[in-house]
Amino acid sequence: MAKKSVLIIYTGGTIGMVADSRTGSLKAFDIGHILKNVPELGKMNVKLESVSFATPIDSSDIQPKHWIEIAEIVYKNYNAFDGFVVLHGTDTMAYTASGVSFLLENLGKPVIFTGAQLPIGVLRTDARENLITSVELAAHSTDGKPTVPEVCVYFKNQLYRGNRSHKINSELFQAFNSVNYPVLAEAGVNLNFDTDAIADRPILPIKLYKKLNSNIAILKIFPGLSAEVVKAVTGIKGLKALIVETYGSGNAPTEKWFVNAIKQAVKSGVIVLNVTQCYGGAVEQGKYETSRQLDDAGVVGGADMTTEAAVAKLMFLLGNYTDRAEVLEKLQEPLRGELSN
């Protein structure tokens, strides 16, 4: 059987870090250090190549421009490789995976994001298993075609759709989860795929988008939220969209000052998207009186999108579509499997 080829894209993050001998803090190293610490990769029937950011960065410093850089690397090398593994810090991995999923339309090959809670050179690290299995997943095929033709996150034996993933823990190796969508694959003795959950292979050529508009804000509802804060956020100069993280199934305060502030934002052209701050579940705007007023004000219900996916989707839509009606329409459609019908 011919070897599959996988391109490893190293952006930075804990997985490739080493301790600074002077301060003891972790700093980024390089891809050679990673491959040196995982000799098992040389035993796989996979041809590996790697590319690294010019300056590896901590995921806390990741910006939308880096999403575009990753998407461009995949696009430029798309025909030369069977799959891609992106090594990335965990803190913003769900944001980046979501962003890249929108930037690559008609993706027909695996782009697997992974990382680690401990550096790869540490004895009791999760990095080696995450990297080895991610490479295996990226190279996996069924009937001669890629098994998982979408952007994913792999962590601790489970493969998630990237724009459905969320970091749930900063200490445990089980750092990610996907409450509102099934796990795409589980890695045990065998790789077990949920073929019903995996995206269909596209029939059109891959398309790269390179525009994102980050003029958005997030307003998290909490008891005691003041009118001054809401007014300051909704009145940000140049604001294009506002994500409101509401209670439960999309509920928010019914005080007149709050509803009027949201109405005024919508009236001024700001797109307001309602997502739940709950760990799982979906927004059902209008189900209760506390969300019906948002519906009447012109707020868009975000269904079961994560905040990370909502951020990425709004940046993508605002960057590539100028017609407000079209943005609103596409915001409520599943473009990359980020929300349920």
Tell me the DSSP string of 102-146: HHEET--S-EEEE--SS-TTSTT-SHHHHHHHHHHHHH-EETTEE
181/337 Cα distance (integer angstroms): 9
**Side chain identity, residue 331:** L
Closest CA relative to residue 321, chosen from 235, 209, 164:
209
Closest CA relative to residue 120, chosen from 287, 8, 279:
8
**Are residues 152 and 135 in contact, defined by beta-carbon separation less than 8 angstroms?**
no
Q: Which helix (H) or strand (E) holds 216?
A: strand 216-220
Query: What residues contact 28, with CB distance under 8 A and at least 6 apart?
Result: 12, 13, 16, 17, 55, 56, 57, 58
**Are residues 287 and 252 in contact, defined by beta-carbon separation less than 8 angstroms?**
no
Helix or strand or coil: residue 172? coil
**Are residues 22 and 99 in contact, defined by beta-carbon separation less than 8 angstroms?**
no
Tell me the DSSP string of 18-69: EE-TTT--EEE--HHHHHHT-GGGGGSSEEEEEEE-SS---GGG--HHHHHH
For the question of residue 276 being annotated catalytic, the response is no
> What CA–CA distances, in Å, run from 104 to 79, 116, 167, 207?
14, 25, 22, 6
283/274 Cα distance (integer angstroms): 7
Which of these is catalytic: 14, 114, 133, 307? Answer: 14
Can you read off the two tokens belonging to residue 339? 């929300």
Burial state string for 63-90 with b = 16 or more CB within 10 A and e = fewer than 16: ebebbbbbbebbbeebeebbbbbbbbbb
Q: Is 298 exposed, middle or buried (0-12, 13-18, 19+ CB in 10 A)?
A: middle
Active-site residues, by number, are: 14
